[in-house]
Amino acid sequence: MSRASLSGFPELTPQERIVEQYVLDHVRRTFELHGFAGIETRAVEPLESLLRKGETSKEVYVLGRLQDEPGAKRGRELALHFDLTVPLARYVLEHTGDVAFPFKRYQIQKSWRGERPQEGRFREFTQADIDVVGQDTLPFQYEVDVALVMCEVLAGLPIGGFTMRVNNRKLCDGAYRSMGIEDREGTLRVIDKLAKIGPDGVKAELSGLGLTPEQIDGALALASIQSRDTSFVEQVRALVGSNETLEEGLAELAAVIEGGDGEHMLADLSIARGLDYYTGTVYETTLDGREGFGAISAGGRYDSLVSDGKRTYPGVGLSLGVTRLVAALLADNTATRQVPTAVLVAVTSEESRVASRVVAGALRLRGIPAEVMPSAEKFGKQIRYADRRGIPFVWFPESGEVKDIRSGDQVAADPATWSPPEEDLWPRMVARKQG
Amino acid sequence: MSRASLSGFPELTPQERIVEQYVLDHVRRTFELHGFAGIETRAVEPLESLLRKGETSKEVYVLGRLQDEPGAKRGRELALHFDLTVPLARYVLEHTGDVAFPFKRYQIQKSWRGERPQEGRFREFTQADIDVVGQDTLPFQYEVDVALVMCEVLAGLPIGGFTMRVNNRKLCDGAYRSMGIEDREGTLRVIDKLAKIGPDGVKAELSGLGLTPEQIDGALALASIQSRDTSFVEQVRALVGSNETLEEGLAELAAVIEGGDGEHMLADLSIARGLDYYTGTVYETTLDGREGFGAISAGGRYDSLVSDGKRTYPGVGLSLGVTRLVAALLADNTATRQVPTAVLVAVTSEESRVASRVVAGALRLRGIPAEVMPSAEKFGKQIRYADRRGIPFVWFPESGEVKDIRSGDQVAADPATWSPPEEDLWPRMVARKQG
């Protein structure tokens, strides 16, 4: 990824942007093929509604106008959103009359976090979210569907293997109940840190919460259960006694795994996702062999995204970290050129510029990106203009010929019928040559 | 346009967003067909570099982190960009090694202005900019080219007629010189307000600048000159004596008009564009019959967008106000439906869901947006699900039939070969039905 002149605010070169744009187009097309409608929300929310979510409060960028008094009271100030979930909740309440429920929406936008930047952390980043939001009720099936959509997105990109780890909050809550654990939310939050602080760290923290050694062992044993199929069910049954919440969680997780794509999904009972509002299935996806890179997609089911007092709006959603994903792709991939142009139309003299414009116009009309040389120059200079940009073809209107400047091949061509090979039409993402 | 719950921050319904997305796709495709490379810059710039441009200083949103001390010193703070030109200048300096000059870039992003919102003004808005930036020099031809590209963008949208008014700073400067006007920049700034304050207001303000009655009449006479062809040249010659700057301006403006699309461009010598950095051609585009709506596109030539001390970077660019344009389009247009889905695949029972998934997958594989009913329901309820969303087709996997729910026609169909009519494949922008 290109240097960032401001830490935490990455910017791409034009060539890198082509890779990012490819990802964005692919993500959007997949979401739309599955029937998700696109929306955008404003970049700002009232500070108070962002702070309601608690734990990221210190990471919010607050907006001030330049002529505001310094030290003016902090009340109904605006702040930049730090995710796309809080804005969605507000949008749903404001547009109950404009959408049909269940509301399947995607949203591809930037978010901001005013945190101190660390390795792999961004202060400005692009997210691509899908959520399905119901009115009062939401069919369970969507907890399977959103996982399938996100796996299809990722499987369509040259990122190598990836694993979507799935768990269920009800399963953990029910199992902890059976173990007699009182502080079940606290326990889950500690288990969430397992990968970071290790089993010993978890043991110490759970002990601090007042869990008995047996409860600690039980919680860790539960978190160690993983399976590609539904065999996790028997493993859980061997560990703890049954109850209604546990059974519900087991059935739901089994349904997600059975309904999955059979390739990328893994029941992993250590996955907790810190955010309190998840109430059922939770998802976390990492790139195989690059787990340290962090989750590139995460989300879950929430029983009440928002409520207007009369009705509740349950939902399930998954977020894709586009900025992080593109950073991973750019490690191994690049674009075939830095400009969209496939054909540079040469200009012999300013008097014949009109003829060059006609050729370029005819090509563009058939969807072939073409530009006209900005000034009449010797052919060598015009070919160098194309070469510096990676433009593969130069058209000479006077001879009616087009030259592939890579091979040197030059052939007679008609702008009404000639096309470049498919792979040269638009810049493409390709694996970086090994050096 | 949909209500905004926060004044100046418009948000669209999913159906309106389809119209906006259509515009964004069209704009991007046109820019790319002409060889412009897309970039994005971060949303923030150091406050000091935004303030350097002076006149919008009070409209800047400054960012603070929540834990910052209130009243902390204003130094290297960050602020949201208010246009895409200041960020481009910085980007060019930082990426001189990553781009080939002349650098043709487009940029479609949001900008923010912390101003008090008024009719038709937005505090958050999307702009689509094209600029061509040279290193030390820039061929004049680009002053023709960018105008052609923007006219092609606008001509491809159902907005009715539009007029791109073009003037040249050198022409005005040279003419004012011939008239003996000292404060030529001040004069231009007053002339820029002609449409707002009228000839009497202009006279009073020019008089305040110290212009003689003859100079005032001359400046107003110059500003009254308009022509679709190059006849403005003779009108100017009849008004003022010649000088080198004037001749350069006349020749350039004539070249832009002659190189234009012969339909939308008008030489209009009252166009000034307030910003100081323009040095040659200036452009301003309004919708015919909706001039009060304001400019939907504007820009110009600048001799030095930015300099690193050693080299200068001259450029020419045009900005398109996407938010304003979409507002204009939404007055007369809507989308054929609110979701991408063309086909809802029905589900008879949860046991047969897999068969429904197979049908939907086969359709999506051929680029047909399809979704599977989230829960097994009576067919009537499934058809109502589709109807509420405007989904035109419902597929019944068991009978192997597809129903057009608008006409009621139901036919046998194979998911490997059936396609909806082209106009139903994706939601489209259409004229709103008259009342």
Of B39, B79, B141, the CB nearest to A17: B39
In angstroms, rounded to a whole number, what is the distance separating the alpha carbons of residues A134 and A138?
5
Other CB atoms within a 10 A radius of the CB of residue A195 amount to: 12
B371-389 pLDDT, tens digit each: 999 999 999 999 999 999 9
Q: pLDDT tens digits for A93-148?
A: 999 999 999 999 999 999 999 877 666 679 999 999 999 999 999 999 999 999 99
Structural contact between residues A83 and A113, judged by C-beta atoms closer than 8 angstroms: no
CA distances to A179, B205, B243 from B211, in Å: 91, 9, 20
pLDDT of amino acid B65: 76
Helix (H) or strand (E) holding A297: strand A297-307
Residue A387 is predicted with a pLDDT of: 97
Which two tokens mark A113? 């976090």
Which chain B positions have a beta carbon within 8 Å of A61's beta carbon?
63-65
- Asked whether the predicted pLDDT for residue A240 surpasses 60, the reply is yes
Q: How confident is the model at residue B210 (pLDDT cuts 50, 70, 90)?
A: very high
Say how far apart CA A27 and CA A42 lie, in whole Å.
21
Mean pLDDT of A412-433: 96
The model's pLDDT over B164-206, given as tens digits with 9 standing for 90+, comes to: 999 999 999 999 999 999 999 999 999 999 988 999 999 999 9
Q: Per the CB < 8 Å rule, is B63 touching A60?
A: no
In Å, how far is A328's CA from the nearest CA of chain B? 19
Q: Is pLDDT of A66 > 60?
A: yes
B15 contact residues in A (CB cutoff 8 A) = 98
Question: What is the distance between the alpha carbons of residues A248 and A140, in angstroms, rounded to a whole number?
Answer: 12
The set of residues, in sequence order, having a beta carbon less than 8 Å from that of A403 and lying 6+ positions away, is: A383, A393, A394, A395, A396, A409, A410
Indicate which of A61, A78, A93 best probes the interface with B, i.e. most B CBs within 10 Å of its own CB: A61
| Residue A51: per-residue pLDDT | 82
CB contact under 8 A, A71 and B66: no
pLDDT of residue B236 exceeding 60, the answer is yes
Q: Which helix (H) or strand (E) holds A154?
A: helix A141-155
CB contact under 8 Å between A141 and B38, yes or no, is no
8 Å CB contact of A37 and B14 = yes
Residue A177 distance to chain B (closest CA, Å)? 31
pLDDT at B434: 61
The C-alpha atoms of residue B283 and residue B266 are separated, in whole angstroms, by 10
C-alpha to C-alpha distances, A14 to A181, B99, B107, B139, nearest whole angstrom: 54, 7, 11, 22
Q: Which of B3, B32, B71 sits opposite A369 (nearest CB)?
A: B32
* Mean pLDDT computed over every residue of chain B: 93
- pLDDT tens profile B418-434: 999 999 999 999 999 76
In this prediction, residues B292-319 reach a mean pLDDT of 92
Which amino acid belongs to residue B345? V
Interface test with A, best of B7, B9, B11 (most A CBs within 10 A): B11
pTM given for the model: 0.96
CA distance B172 to B256: 16
Query: What residues of A are in contact with residue B381 (Cβ under 8 Å)?
Result: none
Nearest CA in chain B to A64: B62
- Cβ(A318)–Cβ(A147) below 8 Å: yes
Confidence of residue B277 (pLDDT cuts 50, 70, 90): confident
pLDDT tens-digit map of B104-160: 999 999 999 987 766 667 999 999 999 999 999 999 999 999 999 999 999 999 999
Tell if the CB–CB gap between A17 and B40 is shorter than 8 Å: yes
What the block records as the tokens of A324 is 């992080």
Q: Which two tokens stand for residue B227?
A: 């022509």
Nearest chain A residue (CA) to B144: A374
Cα separation, B11 vs B16, whole angstroms: 9
CA distance B234 to chain A (A): 23
Q: What is the pLDDT of residues A295-304, one digit of tens each?
A: 999 999 999 8
* Residues in chain B within 8 Å Cβ distance of A42: 6, 9-11, 124
Q: Are B157 and B331 in contact (CB under 8 A)?
A: no
Angular region, B412: left φ>0, alpha ψ -120 to 50, beta rest: beta
Residue pLDDT, tens place only, A345-371: 999 999 999 999 999 999 999 999 999
Mean predicted lDDT score pLDDT of chain A: 93
Q: Write out chain B residues lying below 8 Å of A41, CB-based.
A: 11
Residue A111 near residue A127, CB atoms below 8 Å: yes
Residue whose tokens read 């002659």: B258
CB contact under 8 Å between B37 and A14, yes or no, is: yes
- Residue B183: CB partners within 8 Å, gap ≥ 6? B209, B210, B211
Instruction: Write the CA distances from B243 to A84, A222, B116, B179, B224, integer angstroms.
Output: 59, 87, 44, 11, 21
Nearest to A218 by CA among A230, A200, A203: A203
pLDDT score of B72: 52
Please compute the mean of the pLDDT values over residues A408-433 and round it to a whole number. Answer: 96
Exposed / middle / buried, residue A288 (Cβ in 10 Å: 0-12, 13-18, 19+): exposed
Q: Are A50 and A81 in contact (CB under 8 A)?
A: yes
> pLDDT for A175-197, tens place per residue?
999 999 999 999 999 999 998 89
Q: Cis bond leading into B102, ω under 30°?
A: yes
Res A385 pLDDT > 80? yes
Domains and CATH numbers, chain A: 14-334 (3.30.930.10), 343-431 (3.40.50.800)
A167-180: average pLDDT: 97
pLDDT in tens, B92-102: 999 999 999 99
Of A72-86, A281-295, B144-158, the range with the lowest mean pLDDT is A72-86
Question: What confidence score (pLDDT) does residue B120 get?
Answer: 62
As a whole number, mean pLDDT of residues A388-393 equals 97
Q: CA–CA separation, B361 vs B345, rounded Å?
A: 10
Is it true that the peptide bond before A199 is cis, omega within 30 degrees of 0? Answer: no
Q: Do B40 and A12 touch (CB under 8 A)?
A: yes
Residue A57 pLDDT more than 70?
A: no
What are B45's strand-pairing partners? B79
Contact A114 B65 (CB under 8 A): yes
DSSP letter at B21 equals H
Structure tokens at A51: 């702070």
A374:B102 CB<8 A: yes
Query: Quick one: DSSP state of residue B432?
Result: P
* Chain A residues with beta carbon closer than 8 angstroms to that of B367: 33
Distance of alpha carbon B301 from alpha carbon B305, whole angstroms:
9
Q: Mean pLDDT across the stretch A219-247?
A: 97
CA distance B179 to chain A (A): 34
pLDDT for B54 beyond 70: no
Give B306's pLDDT tier (boundaries 50, 70, 90): confident
Please compute Rg for chain A using Cα positions. Answer: 27
Answer yes or no: do B66 and A60 touch at CB < 8 A: yes
Predicted pLDDT of residue A53 = 60
On the 0-12 / 13-18 / 19+ scale of CB atoms within 10 A, B355 is: middle
Higher pLDDT, A72 or A293: A293
